[in-house]
Amino acid sequence: MNFFYLAHSVMSFECLKGMVSNGMIPELVVIHKDLEREKLRSEFYEPITRFCRDKNIKLTETDNVNEISSGIEKFDTGICVGFMNILNKEIFSVPVNGIYNLHCGRLPEYRGRAPISRSIMNGEQFLTISMHKIDEGVDSGDVCIEREIKIENTDDVNSLYKKCSDLSSELITDLLYQLENHGLKFRKQIIAGPPNRKVGENERRINWNDSSLSVFNLIRAVTFPYPCAYSFYKGNKILFLGSEYPVMQDGHEYPAGVIKDISPEAVEIYCGKGSVRILKAADEGLNEINFPEKIKTGEKFE
């Protein structure tokens, strides 16, 4: 299969390694030149550069992929994983088979940003990884490959990202195989409304009137190294990094946000329905909070 690969993120590098091990080797890999260079230097930029050199794969860096139409004219197919440029028609129409994008969320419901986080926040039982053909919209093209991952009670945004990374090369290998041998079957999306944005500051603030399950889902959906769910205690912003699945709901009514119980291992806080045990919290500087020393039973988070 004559294809090129647009890559950005740790997932895209893991996917590339998987594709190569499956015998699907791109002739060209395109990465950003400067985007998040320092942040991703050791986890993405340096490893993918070494990998392409060792595997004799041509690597191109660009600030604007829309300027390299002449460099992809010889390719039948393009694959995109995490690349951050919006591709214009002059680019995605160059390969005869089109360019296909990996998206870690069910389409069209989770078009746009933060599909893994939003799937968790919404209490989904499964996360759908999708491959769709790129068109002029945002994650709006026809869907051709889908796989489901069970969202376990022990999962958070980081573990699901890892599961998506592990599965991504299988989807792309399957897509390329079908494209070359049988042709692809497509599902047209019915688009209603704009794509999702990244999870905003207001969305990350805990509403203690929500159910304990909703609070638990929010905490694990945006935990570190993401910006984290938060609340205020005596005027100080507290970040919540981990909580326990609320197995039992408390049948009594208590003021939401009030601290029910505290120990060195956890602090339990009443919600609109039930309570949630917080296993790890930190201040804005990410300094871990000692629960009995800093937080008192009967006081309240706002």
Instruction: Name which CATH class applies to 3-181.
Output: alpha beta
Instruction: Grade residue 253 by pLDDT with cuts at 50, 70 and 90.
Output: low
Choose between 192 and 239: higher pLDDT. Answer: 239
Instruction: Grade residue 250 by pLDDT with cuts at 50, 70 and 90.
Output: low
pLDDT at 159: 98
> Which residues in 121-153 are b (16+ Cβ under 10 Å) and which e?
beebeebbbbbbbbbeeebbbbbbbebebebee
Pair 281, 238: CB distance under 8 Å: yes
Structure tokens at 286: 């990410």
Instruction: Map out the domains of the chain as residue ranges.
Output: 3-181, 202-294
Residue % of the chain over a pLDDT of 70? 98
Is the pLDDT confidence value at 238 over 60?
yes
User: Any idea how long the chain is?
Assistant: 302
Is the pLDDT confidence value at 186 over 60?
yes
Instruction: Grade residue 174 by pLDDT with cuts at 50, 70 and 90.
Output: very high
- Mean pLDDT (the chain) is 94
Q: What's the average model confidence in pLDDT over 261-290?
A: 93
The CATH number of the domain covering residues in 202-294: 3.10.25.10
Residue 246: how many CB atoms within 10 A of its CB? Answer: 21
User: By CB neighbour count within 10 A (0-12 exposed, 13-18 middle, 19+ buried), where does 47 fall?
Assistant: middle
pLDDT at 1: 74
pLDDT at 270: 93
Is the pLDDT confidence value at 68 over 70?
yes
Question: What are the start-end ranges of the E strands in the chain?
Answer: 3-7, 28-32, 58-62, 77-81, 99-103, 126-133, 143-150, 229-233, 236-244, 259-262, 267-270, 275-282
